Amino acid sequence: MNGPMHPRPLVALLDGRDCTVEMPILKDVATVAFCDAQSTQEIHEKVLNEAVGALMYHTITLTREDLEKFKALRIIVRIGSGFDNIDIKSAGDLGRVGQAVALRAKAFGFNVIFYDPYLSDGVERALGLQRVSTLQDLLFHSDCVTLHCSLNEHNHHLINDFTIKQMRQGAFLVNTARGGLVDEKALAQALKEGRIRGAALDVHESEPFSFSQGPLKDAPNLICTPHAAWYSEQASIEMREEAAREIRRAITGRIPDSLKNCVNKEHLTAATHWASMDPGVVHPELNGAAYSRYPPGVVSVAPPGIPAAVEGIVPNAMSLSHGLPAVAHPPHAPSPGQTVKPEADRDHSNDQL
């Protein structure tokens, strides 16, 4: 799958409004552009046809049908945490954030237990934590439950009316992972009845979050933040820089061997070297361009031998395979006019293990 590459590959920031952070890292090995798109219908035909690498936040969603529109895509880097906006079967685990919370709570004298059906045996001993075998055990024995897992088809509304009734009377709930993990109607009712004493949410089923709308608007003892608990100016820059470096490692090296922390090597083909960059074929004037301003015919990324498949999906520094069957690609309609959209909240990078 790591076949010959044009000496000047195209890398696109799909749902970003500028690429000023990424361009200094990538400009000598790739043409970098931003799309400011909220769906693949807003992505220019040239990007769909020729982009070899893509960076994305959580604003845009890539379903199977969306991924099949890309003809040359080899790697996706998710800027931030989680990858539930990409159609891939994934399993959550304790992860860096969960471990960080557990160790800090332990330092303050908490007795910390955790439940994770996917984490390998022995981690609990290395961290000095107690592991329980079922979610029911965790809920029954906890005074405060904090969630640190990705969202998938198996854990949607993990916290619901049934599981809330398994929690200790007057327990606390914290969710900084994904809004879909909590049934907000059930949570609101439990807060009103006092079954849950208090809750703190940084993520919500519907975002951007508004206190004036939704089932939580009248709930007591509730702290909500707008999916921005991670944010600082420096954190925003650092996660974008690390994502760009991962794209650079993919372009200049081998997939998956050159990636910082590829978790699905067994699903990828044997690594071969991507074609090195030819300094003579450089179009620096295109770097940083918006997708709607591409000069026709200037950028060319020939994809000979590349199937309609995404070889790696990287949530910042994690490569995950997403193989798709080869399909015939009909011509794409021109992209609609670019509209100004409010800047979306960004997730902090925490997926590197």
Q: Does the annotation count 207 as an active-site position?
A: yes
189 backbone dihedrals φ, ψ, rounded to 5°: -65, -40
- Size of the chain, expressed as the number of residues it contains: 353
Q: Which of 17, 96, 207, 332 is catalytic?
A: 207
As to burial, measured by CB atoms within 10 angstroms (0-12 exposed, 13-18 middle, 19+ buried), residue 22 is buried
Residue matched to tokens 């327990």:
171
- Measure CA of the first residue to CA of the last residue in the chain; give whole Å: 26
Q: Does the annotation count 125 as an active-site position?
A: no
Q: Which of 8, 74, 148, 178 is catalytic?
A: 178
- Pairing of β 320-322 and β 310-315: antiparallel
166: number of Cβ within 10 Å:
12
* Cβ contact 200:310 at 8 Å: no
User: Looking at residue 218, what DSSP letter applies?
Assistant: T
* Cβ contact 116:93 at 8 Å: yes
Q: Of 311, 308, 251, which Cα lies nearest the Cα of 7? A: 251
Task: Please give the Cα distance from 242 to 235 (Å, whole number).
Answer: 11
Q: Does the annotation count 227 as an active-site position?
A: yes
Q: Which of 44, 78, 195, 227 is catalytic?
A: 227
Task: Please give the Cα distance from 46 to 297 (Å, whole number).
Answer: 9
As to burial, measured by CB atoms within 10 angstroms (0-12 exposed, 13-18 middle, 19+ buried), residue 7 is middle
Catalytic positions are 178, 207, 227
